[in-house]
Amino acid sequence: MKFILSSLKLLKSLQALGGVIGSNNTLPILDDFLFSLKEGKLSITASDLETTMIITLEPEMQEGEGDVTIPARLLLDIMKTFPDIPVTIDINSDTLMVELTAGEGRYKLSGHKSDEFPQIPVLDDPTEMELPAEVLANGFEKTIFATGIDELRPVMSGVLIELSEEYMTMVATDAHKLVRYRRMDVKSDQAASFILPKKPINQLKNILSGKTDAQVKLAFNPKNAAFSFENVRLVCRLIEGKYPNYEAVIPTTNPNKLTIDRLSLLNSIRRVAIFSNKATHQVRFKMTGQELMLSAEDLDYYNEAKERLVCSFEGDDMEIGFNSRFFQEMLNNMDTDTVQLEMSAPNRAGIMVPIDNENKEEDILMLIMPVMLNQ
């Protein structure tokens, strides 16, 4: 079989697929891309058994049909060196030798039989719906940073997606911070929920960003989920297990409210945190009247920093400590100019919400657990 494609078009597809291939694959065949040429279409597949991604392209010219797997790293490395020129790939169906011709260069590499490449999972009796690519990309962007890495609690290493007749909710938490991202403009006829792993989320987030008008077809059953849009299809195994009751940990009564410019707070925390304890990354928030005092210290090295910020504060004067790294992540994932931090007590979680969010269909709530203050 033989086909011709633009090198840039092929490279972009291979780079998108490359994120699926694991670094320590148990099966050598998983280090390859599967090329399948049928009925004028070229499908390229990458898999790590848990996540499978397929991109379909239309070659400028093709002869014959067939399947072959080609070493991913070698193919990517050579494709990166070409300018945007036509590339001819010729596969000998008997020897599986792959010959690549581009400009004045000819390159040969060994292909492998496709028999051992994992089959694409077929979803039995799936629930199906369509949703805007932009909504998915935004939701993944806002939640993935809060997922956990604890192998003993695998359900918290993914993002919970809940569908209802009123809205769609995405939730991520690592027990120190939590994000609840809700879209009022995405509804489902029937209530459902599933937990998506981090790897397919990263793949989808990267590919969907910038696709403002695309629609994504989502299909899922208790074991797998499939996302299809344009010429891309991604199928992944879901995380099994019961997600923690996240609503129970969100405090509902928070009389102390700090309203402040997001970037001013972010930049101050960045500076002050340099002087914080390297184990706790603690930054102390002291709120009195319309003033916020940020401070951090590392007693081991006699390092100390203080900054005063103007803010709007309602409630009783209070002091509370937060992990500066977590706090910066949350502020970085807010889009509005102003944010509000709602608190009840120094030992209770703080809630961060955006103020004057331009997207009225979006409801974002971020929760951060306090760090006990050193007196």
Instruction: Check which CATH number belongs to the domain holding 28 and give it.
Output: 3.10.150.10
Write down which residue in 62, 82, 110 finishes a domain: 110
Residue 118, domain member (yes or no): no
Query: Of 201, 231, 246, which residue sits at a domain end?
Result: 246
Pair 261, 360 in one domain: yes
Verify that 137 and 87 share a domain, yes or no.
no
What three-state secondary structure class fits 168? strand
- For residues 239 and 309, membership in a common domain is answered with no
Provide the token pair at 112. 């492998």
259 and 323 assigned to the same domain? yes
Residue 375: per-residue pLDDT? 57
Give the domain extent around 22. 2-110
Which regions in the chain score pLDDT beneath 70?
374-375
The confidence score (pLDDT) of residue 329 equals 97
Residues 269 and 333 in one domain: yes
Among the listed residues 139, 172, 143, the one whose alpha carbon sits nearest the alpha carbon of residue 156: 172
**What's the pTM?**
0.94
Q: Which of 231, 246, 261 is the last residue of a domain?
A: 246
Q: How many domains does the chain have?
A: 3
List all residues 6 or more positions away from 225 whose beta carbon is below 8 Å from its beta carbon.
Answer: 194, 196, 200, 218, 219, 235, 236, 238
For residues 327 and 170, give the distance between their C-alpha atoms in angstroms, rounded to a whole number. 20
Burial 130-142 (b: 16+ CB within 10 A, else e): ebbbbbbbbbbbb
Q: What is the per-residue pLDDT for 110?
A: 97
Same domain, 28 and 65: yes
Same-domain check for residues 42 and 91: yes
In a domain, 277, yes or no: yes
Contacts of 78 (CB under 8 A, 6+ apart): 100, 107
Q: Are residues 233 and 260 in the same domain?
A: no
**62 found inside a domain:** yes
Is residue 336 assigned to a domain?
Answer: yes
Distance CA 21, CA 42 (A): 19
Report if residue 117 sits inside a domain.
Answer: no
CA 79/CA 101 separation, integer angstroms:
11
Question: Which residues are registered as beta bridge partners of 3?
Answer: 62, 89
Phi, psi of 348 (to 5 degrees): -115, 155
In a domain, residue 359? The reply is: yes
Contacts of 74 (CB under 8 A, 6+ apart): 109
Same domain, 138 and 206: yes
Is residue 363 situated within a structural domain? yes
- What is the C-alpha to C-alpha distance for residues 148 and 246, in angstroms, rounded to an integer? 14
Same domain for 134 and 238?
Answer: yes
Find the radius of gyration of the CA atoms of the chain: 25
Residues 276 and 240 in one domain: no
Domain shared by 230 and 288, yes or no: no
| Residue 18 in domain | yes
